Amino acid sequence: MEQEKIIFDLDPGVDDTMALLLAFNEPKIDIKLITTTFGNVGLKQATQNACFVVQNFAKNDYPIYFGAASAPNTPLHDAFDVHGRTGLGTKIQAHDVTKTPANKFKYGAAEAMRDTILKYPGEIVIVSVGPVTNVATLFKKYPKVISKIKKIVLMVGSMDGKGSITPYSSFNAYCDPDAVETVLKMHKDVPLVVTTKETGTTCYFDEAQREKFGKFGKVGKFVYDLCTGYKDAILKPGQYALHDTCALLTIMPGEEYFTRTNVNMTINTNHKDEKIGQTVFTINPNSNISLMLTVDKQKVIKKYEEILARTLK
């Protein structure tokens, strides 16, 4: 079976956690490394959440390294109103966490990413579903490894130029627009895959579906509980967005959930402009940036159900 080896860079986060659960139970995804960033919650909480989820729900003891606690040039923001103060909604809290991040002196997320890429040259897909700071740090510190990355997935920006955290910017873009620009400038021959605000806000499930998910044993119950207090900035209460799951599903070998087009992409990084973080996409068939235009919501939900069903075996 064709498998994708991934570095999963995230800021859990309710939808990050849902995506992690998918990755744990999907044989076509081979997690080589998990890195955490500030974002939905602070870095410490995000890392704690990642450790909690791996400890309780993963079959393998994946290495977790924490990365950036903030962006170099952008004030810190959070998404407590979307993900709850704990990042896992308002019902769940990471508890009894014994797993710890693997960081060592002068060896953090960027170094772990570098070494994972060098261990599997040309094979690693970086899936970044939080602020892009860790990826930008890797690029700036270790530019020689960039060409050895297979693909990079970003969950960032919007197609209509309208935002979630501001009228112009999506959350991940707003947290560190400079990092997005660094990746856009430096990825060169490495294909980029981009899902946007529109992907996640099109692809949500409702209360009835939540109930359905909740019936799939321990993991299903956890997904159900995760939704408590999870409200997307754009969707209505009782609509649960699958932003990060969608980003992960863009790389599934032999499975297609999207329509795609090749584009040029820019981001506003003018810190004096209210439109900072705004993205612009223009179609360019020769570009190696692939934008997800539409998503087959029902197919994604069915996939998620299949994954949950698998956890019962």
Residues within the interface to Ca ion (CB under 5 A): 11, 13, 16, 129-130, 244
- In one-letter notation, the amino acid at residue 194 is V
Residue closer to Ca ion, measured from CB, 123 or 229: 229
Return the DSSP state at 286: T
DSSP state letters, 146-166: GGGEEEEEEE---SSS--SSS
- In one-letter notation, the amino acid at residue 155 is M
Residue closer to Ca ion, measured from CB, 110 or 129: 129
Is beta strand 192-195 parallel, antiparallel or unpaired with respect to 149-155?
Answer: parallel
**227 three-class SS:** coil
Residue closer to Ca ion, measured from CB, 130 or 157: 130
- 66: part of which helix (H) or strand (E)? strand 64-66
Query: Minimum CB separation from Ca ion for residue 293, in Å?
Result: 21
Residue closer to Ca ion, measured from CB, 22 or 145: 22
Angle at 270 between CA 268 and CA 272, to 5 degrees: 135
Query: Minimum CB separation from Ca ion for residue 83, in Å?
Result: 9
Query: Minimum CB separation from Ca ion for residue 232, in Å?
Result: 12
Residue closer to Ca ion, measured from CB, 26 or 244: 244
Is beta strand 258-267 parallel, antiparallel or unpaired with respect to 279-283?
Answer: antiparallel
Query: Minimum CB separation from Ca ion for residue 145, in Å?
Result: 24
Residue closer to Ca ion, measured from CB, 127 or 145: 127
Query: Minimum CB separation from Ca ion for residue 129, in Å?
Result: 4
Residue closer to Ca ion, measured from CB, 25 or 40: 40
Query: Minimum CB separation from Ca ion for residue 231, in Å?
Result: 15
Residue of 73, 67, 68, 193 whose CA lies nearest to 126: 193
How far apart are the C-alpha atoms of 10 and 138, rounded to whole Å? 15
Query: Minimum CB separation from Ca ion for residue 46, in Å?
Result: 9
Is beta strand 204-205 parallel, antiparallel or unpaired with respect to 192-195?
Answer: unpaired
- Classify the C-alpha dihedral 306-86-172-10 as positive or negative: negative
